[in-house]
Amino acid sequence: MRLPEFWLLMILAGVFAGAMEIAHAYDRPPPRQDFAVSVAAYADPTTPQQVHVSLAGENKMRISWITDKHTPPIVNYGTSSGKYEHSATGVISSYEYVTYISGEIHDVVIGPLNPNTVYYYSFATGSSSTPEYSFKTPPAQFPIKFAVSGDLGQTGWTKSTLEHISQSNYDVFLLPGDLAYADRIQPLWDSFGRLVEPLASQRPWMVTQGNHEVEKIPAIHHTPFTAYNARWHMPFEESGSTSNLYYSFEVSGVHVVMLGSYADFGYGSDQIRWLESDLKKVDRRKTPWLVVIVHAPWYNSNYAHQGEKESVDMRVMMEGLLYKARVDLVFAGHVHAYERFNRVYNQETDNCGPMYITIGDGGNREGLASKYKEPQPTISVFREASFGHGELEIVNGSYAKWSWHRNDDDESFESDSVWLKSFASDTTCKANKK
Ligand SMILES: *[C@@H]1O[C@H](CO)[C@@H](O)[C@H](O)[C@H]1NC(C)=O
Ligand SMILES: [Fe+2]
């Protein structure tokens, strides 16, 4: 986290970002509140920062944090504040990107943990002033509530989205790609980590990658996803995947598949083979709900991001697998707006297909995608270019409620909502019960 190179990188990144700018205009409404990212170094270099937690296999949680100076990868934790009956040790890593050297990234898996329980945790930094954090584990059974919002970035709009989400009493956050919008300026990954820490240290944040995570620089930095993979280690090993770019996890009766729009999805690719085997393992008696997250939407009636291969080709490659598996819901980001579709298969309304929802409205600096194709296609039910987030409240094995909340309104206000019935409880579109 050395900062002298910041401006050099800023210029470099600006050139490439400009060259890669997508040829459609976003609207930039005035931010709801002023907000400036902070990349200033902390006075004490052993201060833990950017703390976030994620689910890591059955009853386990991965804890990640960064320090500027070396501290051991040890988490002390327990169910009462200040008393840590348990301790776990993990690993340390760091990465280099052009002239930037990351802080020390700590990665520790803790557990087994009890469901629906608050755990208090702290780090062995050697300093007595090390703060205490806490998270709540998801419930073992329904009901469970997911908050969903993609393309977050780090603006005043993002801050407003995060405030709404923190009021929603959610259990697990699902992020369909495009996190920091660092776009090669590595200190912006650090400021993003600090911005989301109040939420991401308290509930599991499960993310997948978007185009803004690639961060290659021709002839200078060949490896894609360097920062993303180092900072946001998701449970891919635990789900039999060979890549951090696609994985699955199960929580409270829901099987969630995270796909990688920017990993190979062609014929014979690891991702396709992994997806096939992962979907085969789903048992709808154990996990009645099956949800898929991807960055680039397969269905989209906005002018933004039409015709990209991650949307068109990936849909062709994977839609049949999802249909056969009776996926209940597919969430995407990428388009900075909200759109809800019917149940769809092969471009038409189909009662046995997944419901598709675009929720790329987290609030990044590019603004909103507000130009829609007219007339509205019949498969599209509701569309609006406003910043916000969604909530998926799974009531039981049969019913769930989806609602969309705009930042312009109070959190309790639902601009769009719909009840869903799971395929596991449906007799006409039979889902696999092992
Ligand atoms: C599931 O929840 C719905 C909505 O609250 C309710 O009508 C239904 O009876 C519940 N089903 C079961 C099996 O509990
Ligand atoms: Fe994107």
Q: How many residues does the chain have?
A: 434
- 181 CA to centre of ligand 2 in angstroms: 9
Ligand 1 centre distance from Cα of residue 423 (Å): 14
Which ligand has the minimum distance to the alpha carbon of residue 143?
A: 1
pLDDT in the model for residue 31: 57
pLDDT at 430: 79
Counting ligands in written order, which one lies closest to the CA of residue 361? 2
As a whole number of angstroms, the distance between CA 356 and CA 13 comes to 34
Residue 88 CB-density burial (10 A; 0-12 exposed, 13-18 middle, 19+ buried) = middle
The question of whether 164 is a catalytic residue gets the answer no
Q: Give me the architecture of the 42-136 domain, per CATH.
A: Sandwich (2.60)
| Domain locations along the chain | 42-136, 144-425
Residue 396 near ligand 1, beta carbon < 6 Å: yes
Q: Given this structure, which CATH class describes domain 144-425?
A: alpha beta
**pLDDT lower than 70: segments of the chain:** 1-26, 28-35, 432-434
Alpha-carbon distance values, 165 to 396, 404, 406 (Å):
22, 11, 11
Instruction: Decide whether any atom of ligand 1 lies within 6 Å of the 79 Cβ.
Output: no
- Relative to the CA of 396, which ligand 1 atom is closest? 1
Residue 398 alpha carbon, nearest atom of ligand 1: 1
Tell me, what's the pLDDT at 1?
A: 43
Cβ of 425 below 6 Å from ligand 1: no
What angle do the packed helices 270-281 and 309-324 form, to 10 degrees?
Answer: 30
State the residue for tokens 């770019």.
245
Q: Which of the residues 255, 305, 336, 389 is marked catalytic?
A: 305
Q: Which residues, at least 6 apart from 335, have a Cβ–Cβ distance to it below 8 Å?
A: 297, 300, 302, 304, 305, 358, 360, 369
The gap from C-alpha 205 to its chain's centroid, in whole angstroms, comes to 7
395 pocket-lining for ligand 1 (C-beta < 6 Å): yes
CB of 398 sitting under 6 A from ligand 1: yes
Q: For residue 64, how far is its CA from the centre of ligand 1 (angstroms)?
A: 37
Determine the pLDDT at residue 427. Answer: 87
Kind plus residue range of the DSSP H or E element containing 344: strand 338-345
Ligand 1 atom nearest residue 425's Cα = 13
Write 8-12 long-range contacts (CB < 8 A, 24+). Answer: 8/99, 9/98, 9/99, 9/100, 9/184, 9/185, 9/186, 10/185, 12/98, 12/184, 12/217
pLDDT of residue 21: 41
- Do 143 and 391 contact (CB within 8 A), yes or no? no
Of 417, 406, 382, 335, which is closest to residue 160 (Cα–Cα)? 406
Ligand 2 centroid to residue 332 C-alpha, Å: 10
Query: Does the C-beta of 399 come closer than 6 Å to ligand 1?
Result: yes
Determine whether 85 is exposed, middle or buried from the number of CB atoms within 10 Å of its CB (0-12, 13-18, 19+). Answer: exposed
Residue located nearest, by CA, to atom 6 of ligand 1:
399
Two structure tokens written together for 366: 């590019």
Confidence (pLDDT) at 431: 77
CA distances from 133 to 78, 126, 262 (A): 11, 16, 34
Separation of 30 CA from ligand 2 center, angstroms?
A: 21
The per-residue pLDDT for 432 is 64
Q: For 236-277, what is each residue's pLDDT tens digit?
A: 999 999 999 999 999 999 999 999 999 999 999 999 999 999
Q: What is the pLDDT of residue 15?
A: 43
CA of 395, closest atom in ligand 1: 2
Q: Which of 285, 396, 402, 421 to mutate to test the pocket of ligand 1 (most atoms within 8 A of CB)?
A: 396
Provide the whole-model pTM.
Answer: 0.94
Atom of ligand 1 nearest to the CA of 419: 4
| Substitution site in 285, 289, 399, 425 for ligand 1 pocket (most atoms within 8 Å of beta carbon) | 399
Dihedral Cα 295, 298, 302, 305, nearest 10 deg: 60
- Cα of 250 vs centre of ligand 1, distance in Å, is 21
